[in-house]
Structure 1
Amino acid sequence: MPGLGRGERAKLIREFGASIGPLEPADAAARAAEDESIVEASRARLGQLDVALLQQLARMFYGSLLPEARLVEAAFRERARTAFGGAVAPGAGGEREGADDLLAPFSPPAPALQPSRTRKAVDGKAIHAALAPGGSVAASLPGYEARAGQMKMARAVAKALSERLHLLVEAGTGTGKSMAYLLPAVHYAVANGRRVVVSTNTINLQEQLFFKDIPLLRRALPLEFKAAVLKGRSNYLCLRRWRAFVREGFTNDTDRLLAAKILIWLRQTDTGDRSELALDDSESGRWSALLGADAQHCTPKTCRDNRAGRCFLSRARRRAEGAHLLVVNHALLLADQALESKVLPEYADLILDEAHHLEDAATRQLGVEIDQQDLTFFLSQLSLPQGAGRYGGLVSRLLTVLITAGGEPMRSQAGELTQPAHDAVDAARRTLGEFFLALMVFVRGVTETASGPITGEREVRLTDTVRRSEWWEVVEAAWSAFSTDLGQVEKGLVRIGSALDPFRDTSELVDDALADLANARQQLTEFRVDLASIVARSDPATVCWLAVRDRGLALHGAPLEVGGLLQEQLFAQKDCIVLTSATLQVAGSFRYARERIGLDDTTFTLAVPSPFDYPNQALLCVPSDLPDPTTRAFAEASVEALEAICAATGGRTLALFTSHSALRAAHQRLSRTLRRVVVLGQGIDGARQQLLERFRETPNAVLLGTSSFWEGIDVVGDALSCLVIVKLPFSVPNDPVFAARSELLDDPFSQYAVPQAALRLKQGFGRLIRSTGDRGAVVILDTRLLTKRYGETLLRSLPPATRRRGTWREMGPLVMDWLANPPAAQA
């Protein structure tokens, strides 16, 4: 099953028919029985495939010793025997280039929208009728409750679209903000023949909108409308590159498994979107390097898949052109605007959900990150010595194409044309190592001077002061040598391209080779420009730094400020922009959010409170006797307090941390001391989604999470009854971007650090109450909420829960008393 990821037991049961339990058994015999059940389910699934597809799979696995190879060969022989009445060898028949005849049937895209000459306002009465009690939304959604806040937001969005306004909306948890903006957006788009782009930060929300909320709207509304999802080009499989991948054959089992997964998936997919596949890190790297669509290969003039209507990227774009609602992510949206790549069709109206992430998304998208592995992999893709004057990689493939295209006259010249490129890559590989060695010596020198030897992860901001050090002079010299060698690589590639260009348009083999060459040259140019900008710091509006991680050292660059860029390149270009999130206000003010993302004073704002009854649904406890979190004593004391709370609740608890090291320390202790509680740790006990499934299904579980668990998770009901926030989520003061931006402010702590922490804290708090039936307690172990002046600002940013103080030993009993005795009973 191509979309089945490691550890997804629920999907294995539901979609694969395996006879296994929801949790992995501890007993070895039970695990063996489960393995046999999975094998039997695999045999049954393979037996359902047609013989042509099985023959292609058998060819891919030919000569492999993998157990999957034996399963495929047995299934092919059985199907061939019944289909043809005799034995057929897996390798029988001529080698075919690819799998064009094995593609799923394509549904034709809708015609492009035709905007009306005059704009029509959104019908407010229709919006009200749809959301009112007994309206069309209620009729289509069992259990729907009309909410005044949702109605208010929908009217504001309708007004913004109709009158071309910019609107900033904080919609409290439970408002139903997705429906509040989708409903008027559909009415506006259909009435005017214009598309509305909806952008999200996370894949989870993107998929929720497209696969859940938009289908609901289709059932609820008497309007015919089209919706589409569009992602960055590399997310779509390029059939030309896929055929080349298969044509070159497989020298390792990793590529065989990836190819088999894709081949089966091609029979099922209408989109070619990689998100439908469960790819591990290695497979994702191969996809990006060899299979994803890119600007060079995806050219209508030379691509027969494009002309035949098979190109997945082209079809996705045509669907987008015909869509009234187009769902994208912030990264694609920002790249499209900043680089003017025009991946998105023309649009004038934009809704940005998860808008509290916009500044960070712009920082990432407009920044750069390069590590040694990236560069090493790139050079290996160009040329990789294989002994005795033999090479693998692109340059060798170009040699073969030159000989094939040019015939015998080219055979004697081709080696002379390609060898300089091999030599240049070899030289660049050596100076690459010297460059990163110089960088590591620099980091070690700077950090030892400041705070001792390098331990764990470390970031060094490249300020003017550190650039004047003797170690940096060595870095600059090493970069000069590496840059020179990269220039020689470019010359070698240009020489090969000049020899191959006369054969352009003579065959797909040549055109693919030229596209691969153009792609490599573009990547090479980008690497050189980005590295030069970091080493030389040519742009004073950019903050640069080095990061030491488990996988090695990386160079980073990011814009110092993004508000002005967003205003100039996005907000000023659009008629209507609606920005919304559950966390935009700090202590009742939109000022921080507006300033950080560059919105001017003409932007309208709206605060829609949550419909939840927080005083009766949520308890907020803060212990008064724990050490200050900035002291060493806090680490042990906070884990002891967390242990006591988890022992009292017996599970059903989510603990949020601000560092992985603190999480690991807590996991180690709690796993040892809480005998009747299942302790699950992020990065320790499985992938994020797997952990959430186990947490929901295990009543006595405690889940420990860091940054990605502070938002975007939804555990409804009693499965989550207690939320513990170990420490206030302030940014690390020496984080390079945070530190550089702080230097631009008069009072960086009050203007930047506190508002940022307030929004993160509000996001974390929001994990607890997800429906009107939820009830639970939040315990914040950070006493600075009570002892510091800014504590009141943070508290005023949180929902109005019932508050209690006490000693850390009283936290567990307070939580259990709240859970056992609802307010009415307590009264």
Structure 2
Amino acid sequence: MAPYDIVQRYNAILHNHPSGDIKPSYQDMEYAKFLQKQGIGFFITNNGADKLNTVTPPVVIFKNKKINEEEIREVLSPNGVLSKNKEDFEFREGQIEMSIEVAKSFNDNRIAILEAGTGTGKSLAYLIPAYLWAKKNNERVVISTNTINLQSQILNKDIPIVKKILNSDINAVLIKGRKNYLCKLKLLNLQSELEFERDNREMNEILNWAQNSSTGCVDELSYIPNNNVWDKVSSDNDFCVGRRCSFYESCFLQISRRKASESNILIVNHHILFADIEIRSLGKGLDENLLLPPYRKIIFDEAHNIEKSANSFFTNQFSKSGFYKFIANYRVKSGKSFLSSIANKFLKSGIQEIEKISVTISEDINNSFNLLNASSFEIFEKINDYIKNILDKKEYFLRNGSINNLQYRIRKEEWLSREFNDYLIEPLSILGKNIGQFNKSYGLLCDSLDSLSEKVAAKYEFDIKIIKAFQNKIETFQSSITALLNSSPDDNAAWFDIFGKPEDPLFTLNVSPVNIGQILKDKLYDVFDSIVFTSATLSVDNKFNFFKNITGLSLVNNKTITEKIYDSPFDYLTQVLFVSPVDIPEPNSYYYNDKLNEYLKDTIEETGGSTFVLFTSYNQLQKSYSDVAPYLEKIGLRSYYQGEMQKEKLLDSFKNDISSNLFATDSFWEGVDAPGDTLKYVVLTKLPFRMPNEPIEEAKIEDIQKKGLNPFNDYTLPKAVIRFKQGFGRLIRTKKDYGIVALLDSRVLTKSYGKLFFRSLPRCKFASGNSGEMKKEIAQHLKDMSDK
């Protein structure tokens, strides 16, 4: 029977009597009386769930207990509980104010947009009211982030402090996607030599690790496994048979979910949260235990990534390589697929009804597979003709003989054209139908398994479950094609990613919603009680209009939205020198590259390294690195570049070599911390405007134009300002940090919009002049700070 610490979260308990006698026992009655006092109902059912005895009905609807503002002040005030339990405690007025605002959003079911400057202590500011709410109301709070680094900080650094100062026994659980967990049924499949080659060293290492793993999580491995290898053993929704699995009770994923059900603080990433929200929007409601257990309060940290994360999640995709990877699972005659191995095993069983199944696989399923496989050649040949026609008309670049990341936008007129219909829509529709036909044959195989005698079915239980699990994959793949083809060109952006050899190109067809805001309003803002958005970079010119517009918050009219900015407590005016040389030409100039590289050599030599050089394109990064790095090497300064090694290892190498330099692009503009002497100089080589020819960006800009707005002022510019703030924020991470930020894009000085970038930064020292003068200013600032 469920213990009270679990039952108390619900309105009623359903107790099973396997005997079929649903009369309450003495113990049942005693427990029911106890629960009745708490307003919790008690019901008894049988194994078939066709009988129900209401012992005591639920009688109380719980009313939420609000967080008192004074509770927060008692913790975060200058002489509060936190000050007595944290050695490096510093009182921060913004932290108290933010924490109170989070509490108000929980108390009054509000939406809150809270920008907290670096050093505010925003994690503790929202964790304290989250823990107070969870304790008072026995209600779950979900904290969603964009990066693993922040999740690790919250779980391992911040939450232990919060639990200590609040004397709380509430555990927080980090929820990871199911792909992170080992599947024991798949593992058995491999150990039975299904899909497993004995000379596969990496697979052997995983199998050895699996025998002693306590969590089955990929993070336990000392290396990052190859995706194709990990796919063979990782948990998979299509493969999962749920409670019918013999490993259900010991399943690593299910154990993690049970821990989540027992916790009131859940830490997730944006993608998992959107996946759970999407399932709930399809009719599952807020009280079901789905990817996540039930919750009504959400805190989005790193909220500036919400639009991007939501767009990514709601994008439908289809690829040629993905299709062939999918059907490889069902290739009977290959000798390596799971079906081939099972058919051979069944054939040697000596049991007539099992041998008959083997014949069904070898003949019926194989024939159906061959029809699907053969038809795909003609289908993809037709699609390839269309792709090659694109390559004939559009300029592209080769890297090592392969097409280098070509994106081709499919506009509405093209999507609706006869040619696109004949060469893409119709072939993919036929492919979807052919997959459906294959599914029918496969379904007959599954039906025949149900007619096996009980003794034989028990003997081959695992094989039967594996065969049935793979039917889910067929249905999911077919559904994804249908969803993609049913997408409206009025509401979505469509494009090809084209890669591979020009003579036989590969492609991914993408369809992504242009207006993610309406989706978020319908599935998120109108559904959940309280939502807090926080980040150090949400506002533009001290306003949240842009953030509200791109996330759909501007559409909300049935909830109060609170907007607050909490300034950083750091002394930027003393700590930071911002320089902007006037003699570096605009980025589109022929002379820009040479002048840029010359400036980098001179100023990095002056700082003695310890530099981030942030680019907006990998192409420019390569051109600068190839010229600047050898020069710096000669004077004893090591330089790294993004792509040289895995990101975490690259950052560790940079931190460990204090005088080293790191040349990086997109992902290093945010979420990267290098406090202390390891980073003294951040160079922003260019204002971070997104490329307007990226398909989704292009579609959003066109949509803004249709609404009568200015695409540059209302979208491109504010998006660049947010990115600019993120790049600037890499320098100062603690109160002891100091250094220089340089912007090598003269447009910030010559264009009218330049002032907007400056107004969005904290006030700091500023210098502008020729490169030589900037070099002197840099030297003086470093001297002044080192003397202090």
TM-score past 0.5 threshold: yes
Give, in angstroms, the shift of residue 323 of structure 1.
Answer: 1.1
Pick closer, same or farther for the CA change 1:446–1:187 going to 2, 3 Å.
same
Matched, 1:736 2:699: no
Look up the match of 1:291.
234
Pick closer, same or farther for the CA change 1:165–1:570 going to 2, 3 Å.
same
Look up the match of 2:638.
678
SS in 2 for 1:223: coil
Look up the match of 2:21.
none
Query: 1:166 pairs with 111, 130, 146, which one?
Result: 111
Matched, 1:801 2:696: no
Q: Give 1:575's aligned amino acid.
A: D
Q: CA offsets per residue over residues 364-387 of structure 1, 9 Å max, x none? A: 11112333332222121221644x
* Cα pair 2:680 2:738 within 8 Å, conserved: yes
Q: Give 2:220's aligned amino acid.
A: E
RMSD of equivalent CA atoms = 2.8
Matched, 1:322 2:262: yes
SS in 2 for 1:755: helix
Look up the match of 1:185.
130
Pick closer, same or farther for the CA change 1:504–1:572 going to 2, 3 Å.
farther
Look up the match of 1:203.
148
Matched, 1:574 2:517: no
Q: Distance in 2 between matches of 1:657 and 1:505?
A: 65
Q: CA offsets per residue over residues 117-161 of structure 1, 9 Å max, x none? A: 222111322211212234332333221211111111011111111
Q: Give 2:521's aligned amino acid.
A: Q
Query: 2:540 pairs with 578, 582, 586, which one?
Result: 586
- Superposed counterparts of 1:444-459, under 5 Å: 444-451=388-395, 456-459=404-407
Query: 1:222 pairs with 167, 180, 190, which one?
Result: 167
* Cα pair 1:504 1:510 within 8 Å, conserved: no
SS in 1 for 2:404: coil
TM-score (norm 1): 0.80
Q: Distance in 1 between matches of 2:396 and 2:194?
A: 51
SS in 2 for 1:198: strand
Larger deviation, residues 351-360 vs 248-257: 248-257
* Cα pair 2:581 2:768 within 8 Å, conserved: yes
* Cα pair 1:110 1:318 within 8 Å, conserved: no
Q: Distance in 1 between matches of 2:5 and 2:374?
A: 53
Q: Distance in 2 between matches of 1:281 and 1:516?
A: 24
Q: Give 1:313's aligned amino acid.
A: L
Look up the match of 1:487.
436
Look up the match of 1:618.
576
Matched pairs, number: 708
Pick closer, same or farther for the CA change 1:434–1:295 going to 2, 3 Å.
closer
* Cα pair 1:447 1:453 within 8 Å, conserved: no
Q: Distance in 2 between matches of 1:737 and 1:707?
A: 17
Give, in angstroms, the shift of residue 473 of structure 1.
Answer: 3.5
* Cα pair 2:105 2:530 within 8 Å, conserved: yes
Look up the match of 2:551.
597
Give, in angstroms, the shift of residue 516 of structure 1.
Answer: 3.6
Q: CA offsets per residue over residues 36-77 of structure 1, 9 Å max, x none? A: xxxxxxxxxxxxxxxxxxxxxxxxxxxxxxxxxxxxxxxxxx
Q: Give 2:701's aligned amino acid.
A: S
Look up the match of 1:500.
449
* Cα pair 1:542 1:558 within 8 Å, conserved: yes
Q: Distance in 1 between matches of 2:641 and 2:413?
A: 40
Give, in angstroms, the shift of residue 406 of structure 1.
Answer: 8.9
Look up the match of 1:365.
313
Q: Give 1:419's aligned amino acid.
A: E
Look up the match of 1:753.
716
* Cα pair 1:620 1:801 within 8 Å, conserved: yes
* Cα pair 1:168 1:604 within 8 Å, conserved: yes
Pick closer, same or farther for the CA change 1:159–1:433 going to 2, 3 Å.
same
Q: Distance in 2 between matches of 1:110 and 1:259?
A: 42
Q: CA offsets per residue over residues 481-525 of structure 1, 9 Å max, x none? A: 544543343233223222222239765675544544444333333
* Cα pair 1:293 1:313 within 8 Å, conserved: no
Q: CA offsets per residue over residues 238-265 of structure 1, 9 Å max, x none? A: 2222222223277535745334335335
Q: Distance in 2 between matches of 1:823 and 1:757?
A: 33
* Cα pair 1:382 1:425 within 8 Å, conserved: yes
Q: Distance in 2 between matches of 1:528 and 1:824?
A: 68
Larger deviation, residues 260-269 vs 666-675: 260-269
For structure 2, list consecutive stretches of 5 or more residues without a partner in the other structure. Answer: 11-60, 285-289
* Cα pair 1:197 1:350 within 8 Å, conserved: yes
* Cα pair 2:611 2:683 within 8 Å, conserved: yes
Give, in angstroms, the shift of residue 694 of structure 1.
Answer: 1.2
Give, in angstroms, the shift of residue 299 of structure 1.
Answer: 1.6
Q: Distance in 2 between matches of 1:505 and 1:540?
A: 54
Matched, 1:525 2:475: yes
Give, in angstroms, the shift of residue 530 of structure 1.
Answer: 3.0
Query: 1:655 pairs with 609, 613, 620, which one?
Result: 613
Query: 2:245 pairs with 268, 291, 303, which one?
Result: 303
- Superposed counterparts of 1:217-296, under 5 Å: 217-248=162-193, 251-252=196-197, 255-264=200-209, 266-269=211-214, 271-280=215-224, 282=226, 284-294=227-237, 296=239
* Cα pair 1:383 1:395 within 8 Å, conserved: yes
Look up the match of 2:592.
634
Give, in angstroms, the shift of residue 322 of structure 1.
Answer: 1.7
SS in 2 for 1:557: strand
Q: Give 2:764's aligned amino acid.
A: A
For structure 1, list consecutive stretches of 5 or more residues without a partner in the other structure. Answer: 1-107
Q: CA offsets per residue over residues 718-758 of structure 1, 9 Å max, x none? A: 11000001111111111111111111112111111111111
Q: Give 1:573's aligned amino acid.
A: V
Give, in angstroms, the shift of residue 538 of structure 1.
Answer: 4.6
Give, in angstroms, the shift of residue 330 of structure 1.
Answer: 1.0
Q: Give 2:605's aligned amino acid.
A: A
Query: 2:518 pairs with 541, 549, 564, which one?
Result: 564
Give, in angstroms, the shift of residue 227 of structure 1.
Answer: 1.6
Q: Give 2:643's aligned amino acid.
A: G
SS in 1 for 2:540: coil
Look up the match of 1:355.
303
Pick closer, same or farther for the CA change 1:368–1:264 going to 2, 3 Å.
same
Give, in angstroms, the shift of residue 453 of structure 1.
Answer: 7.1
Q: Distance in 1 between matches of 2:373 and 2:516?
A: 35
Pick closer, same or farther for the CA change 1:118–1:758 going to 2, 3 Å.
same
Give, in angstroms, the shift of residue 802 of structure 1.
Answer: 1.3
Pick closer, same or farther for the CA change 1:533–1:399 going to 2, 3 Å.
same
SS in 2 for 1:503: coil
Q: Distance in 2 between matches of 1:412 and 1:249?
A: 20
Larger deviation, residues 215-224 vs 483-492: 483-492
* Cα pair 1:235 1:293 within 8 Å, conserved: no
SS in 1 for 2:247: helix
Query: 1:609 pairs with 560, 567, 581, which one?
Result: 567
Look up the match of 1:395.
339
- Identity, % of aligned pairs? 29
* Cα pair 2:396 2:404 within 8 Å, conserved: no
Pick closer, same or farther for the CA change 1:693–1:378 going to 2, 3 Å.
same
Query: 1:125 pairs with 67, 70, 81, which one?
Result: 70
Q: Give 2:498's aligned amino acid.
A: V
Look up the match of 1:695.
654
Give, in angstroms, the shift of residue 657 of structure 1.
Answer: 0.9
Look up the match of 1:380.
328
Pick closer, same or farther for the CA change 1:137–1:498 going to 2, 3 Å.
same
Q: Give 1:606's aligned amino acid.
A: K
TM-score (norm 2): 0.84
Q: Distance in 1 between matches of 2:541 and 2:254?
A: 47
Give, in angstroms, the shift of residue 355 of structure 1.
Answer: 0.8
Give, in angstroms, the shift of residue 448 of structure 1.
Answer: 3.8
* Cα pair 1:112 1:323 within 8 Å, conserved: no
Larger deviation, residues 231-240 vs 517-526: 517-526
Pick closer, same or farther for the CA change 1:114–1:757 going to 2, 3 Å.
same
Q: Distance in 2 between matches of 1:318 and 1:366?
A: 28
Q: Distance in 1 between matches of 2:259 and 2:276?
A: 17
Q: Distance in 2 between matches of 1:487 and 1:572?
A: 37
